[in-house]
Amino acid sequence: MFEGFTLDHIDVGEVTLRVRYAGAGPAVVLLHGHPRTHTTWYQVAPELAKDFTVVCPDLRGYGRSGKPTTDAEHTPYSKKAMAGDVVALMDALGHDSYAVVGHDRGAQVAYRTAFAAPDQVSKLVVMDGLPTVEHLERCNTKFATEWWHWFFLAQTEKPAERVICADPETWYNAWTTNSPAQLGPENHADFLAAIRDPATVHAMVEDYRAGLGIDRRADEEDREAGRQITCPMLLLWSTKDDLEDLYGDPLAVWRPWCPHVEGHGIDSTHHIAEQAPAELVQSLRTFLL
């Protein structure tokens, strides 16, 4: 897995990130979602490395990256903090211009990076995501039913960690929908190590707690100030997931945030990088080259 890639641990200031990188050409950083690690890209990254310099970190809190102590506002797990990690990581690797690709929770970090570093982020790819505030303002019975985990994970009075850590493999479907056959043996082993670690579970839950508070406020502030994402953006979504069912045309939701957005669905379940890697690589290569 990741043949030819360098495995490293890079200090980006507040945390140290586990990261793999390889290739030559324009730089692109791939940001995973919950509850994955960077190894979710194991079928995608080597193909992209034929044309690009590919950088795959574990987000802070996830996998084997650093897990800072939280605070009452969950600030260390805000997407602004994670975006700052991405900017510092790419600077440490010597890249002053790069594309950012993010899936699921990584999608929120990706668009926040585009806001934070408009002079560095050349292109943005969001997979299966909208701005956090757009999700929450559109919350209805269907959203609350389908995406109930957003609200469960955000609880602090009855912490979700106690439930998850009691049986993480069942909670995360480690032997059914997230089995070795579905994820690939080595990716699955990395996934298992992450979900079995109580410190990682706590950090992943903190990500969701930040989402309902500090991350939403960041979106509201940008919208009120009229700030937009200025680089070209590609939106990809899983046609067997529920983004279209919930929101109709997701491109219409994104246009006020990024006037240069384009996109399409991919015939896949939620984890596109694992379930439809060839189609994803083709879409990314076409957009990024």
Q: Which residues are catalytic?
A: 104, 270
Cα→Cα distances 206→42, 62, 95, 201, 242, Å: 26, 11, 29, 9, 24
Q: Which DSSP symbol is given to 213?
A: I
Q: Which DSSP symbol is given to 269?
A: -
**∠ CA(208), CA(68), CA(183), 5° rounding?**
55
Q: Please report the sign of the dihedral spanned by the C-alpha atoms of residue 91, residue 94, residue 98, residue 104.
A: negative
**Whether the Cβ atoms of residue 102 and residue 111 lie closer than 8 Å to each other:** yes
**Whether the Cβ atoms of residue 287 and residue 233 lie closer than 8 Å to each other:** no
**Whether the Cβ atoms of residue 4 and residue 46 lie closer than 8 Å to each other:** yes
Tokens 């990261």 belong to which residue? 19
C-alpha 80/C-alpha 194 separation (Å) is 23
Dihedral pair phi/psi, residue 114, rounded to 5°: -65, -35
Alpha carbon 86 to chain centroid, angstroms? 12
